[in-house]
Structure 1
């Protein structure tokens, strides 16, 4: 099969944009420009948006179905595609179809993951041949979480989240609750009650069990539904916050224990039963040979 045939078949594919969990989040300082210095651990989970790219002849970039209330020009998917065109001078166009499964405003990285999948797949479909490092650099201009989705592996992250080191984590089962609220990330990071001087730790410390989230206290006190979700989930396993939330999660040693908790909680909550994976489902699919 020729490269052209591979790319032609890839245009018809649905490409995953996976969710992530922050298994730990420490705020170790603040830069002069206001950005917070972090230490965090990202792991992917098998919950994905699915994106299909349709070639068009007029050079335009558009969504097949824009998100209600979000101007198309502001959508991270559109911004990512247009950024690729601007960076490379590419004159090709695309119509992008999105099957949205990740909850918005949940801290699972849905918008960032959609943008990363757009960068990675269109880079291949359009034959642009930008390196992963360049795609990560472009992704960072769209959002602090985009680079890890481009990188494609569970990561220990520092800086503002852009300094990544691959890390292998046990691929366990999780139950994730999405409370019925939208946490304002900016509000959390501006809070006077936020811890900003946590001591830096090493990967070995995280592996040994240090997995605090410095945003937890602020979010729990400001959002009652997050607090309630933490209480209900903690009946089954240690309940933790991903990023600034709103999603909370718990880790389980067996699928059976996770399924039991999921079934109990789904009577009251929007809840997901998911497996943690170290390799992004996007990169697992890329390796299948449909695209290069």
Structure 2
């Protein structure tokens, strides 16, 4: 039996940093949804747990030690000899603000749960893998608060074509949080779940400014996206990936072609934001 799971890109449609705990963890208020596109994981029965990696962003990733996928496998109370041959096709840029590692860990939890016929690890174990892991396990539009442990499902009214753009820059999340001057910002404004594009346009990504200060090319990406007339564009997470949402597939495809022609060195991917 071979099981396949897509670790879909996690998109922070907005991300407000509203405080910081005494232990250093930041308090967030974020609206999150998922793209159709992502990394691909396959799982096959084996006597031990192994991980192989390929794909356009697989170079330099280790299939041993502290890889989040292997950490996810260690969360299960499995029997002796109950293993898995796991393969990761790494399609998403690394350290890019779209939850690649967390999405991979979440897909591993779900896939191994099915392969081994074991329940998913409890939310505390999921959260210990990373703040975004429980969100990625849920895999649906939601509002995330706290350090990632407070999750409220959202029913957004429709899917939208989307273009993801990364200027092939990796951004270390801790550096961006450290550079954030104000860590006590207003929360997300409560709003309707229909007409949500207009509602989201009134929100922010508080990490966008420090990310641009760290990697100024992010501002170039946002300006280039704006010139393609998206319904909404913003940086996701701590960067450097930015997104544009479009009314039609043709508009998204035309935007991607235009961006690719002007910036052949950027990673540009058309997909859909799923609701």
Per the normalisation by structure 1, the TM-score is 0.83
Rg larger in 1 or in 2? 1
Name the counterpart of 2:127: 140
Shift of 1:220: 1.3
- Residue 70 of structure 2 corresponds to residue 119 of structure 1: no
- Residue 81 of structure 2 corresponds to residue 94 of structure 1: no
Query: Is contact 1:81-1:119 (8 Å) kept?
Result: yes
Name the counterpart of 2:51: 63
Name the counterpart of 1:273: 270
Could you give the per-residue CA deviations for residues 77-105 of structure 1, whole angstroms, max 9, x where no partner exists? 11111221xxx243211111111111111
Name the counterpart of 1:6: none
Query: Is contact 2:33-2:273 (8 Å) kept?
Result: yes
- Structure 1 residues not aligned, in runs of 5+: 1-10, 279-292
Q: Take 1:226 and 1:149, find their aligned partners in 2: how far apart are those partners?
A: 25
Distance 1:137 1:90, change over 3 A: farther
Shift of 1:211: 2.3
Poorly superposed stretches of 4+, deviation over 3 Å? 65-71
Name the counterpart of 1:190: 178
Shift of 1:213: 0.3
Could you give the per-residue CA deviations for residues 25-54 of structure 1, whole angstroms, max 9, x where no partner exists? 001110000111000011010112111112
Could you give the per-residue CA deviations for residues 210-230 of structure 1, whole angstroms, max 9, x where no partner exists? 221001111112212212111
Query: Is contact 1:221-1:227 (8 Å) kept?
Result: no
Query: Is contact 2:46-2:85 (8 Å) kept?
Result: yes
- Residue 18 of structure 2 corresponds to residue 28 of structure 1: yes
Name the counterpart of 1:256: 250
Distance 1:258 1:65, change over 3 A: closer
Shift of 1:203: 3.4
Name the counterpart of 1:179: 167
Q: Take 1:95 and 1:270, find their aligned partners in 2: how far apart are those partners?
A: 30
- CA RMSD of superposed structures (Å): 1.8
Q: Take 2:273 and 2:233, find their aligned partners in 1: how far apart are those partners?
A: 16
- Structure 2 residues not aligned, in runs of 5+: none
Query: Is contact 1:136-1:150 (8 Å) kept?
Result: no
Structure 1 residue matching 2:191: 3-state secondary structure:
helix
Could you give the per-residue CA deviations for residues 212-260 of structure 1, whole angstroms, max 9, x where no partner exists? 1001111112212212111111112343100001101111112221111
Structure number having the greater helix percentage: 1
Shift of 1:68: 4.7
Distance 1:179 1:35, change over 3 A: same
Per the normalisation by structure 2, the TM-score is 0.88
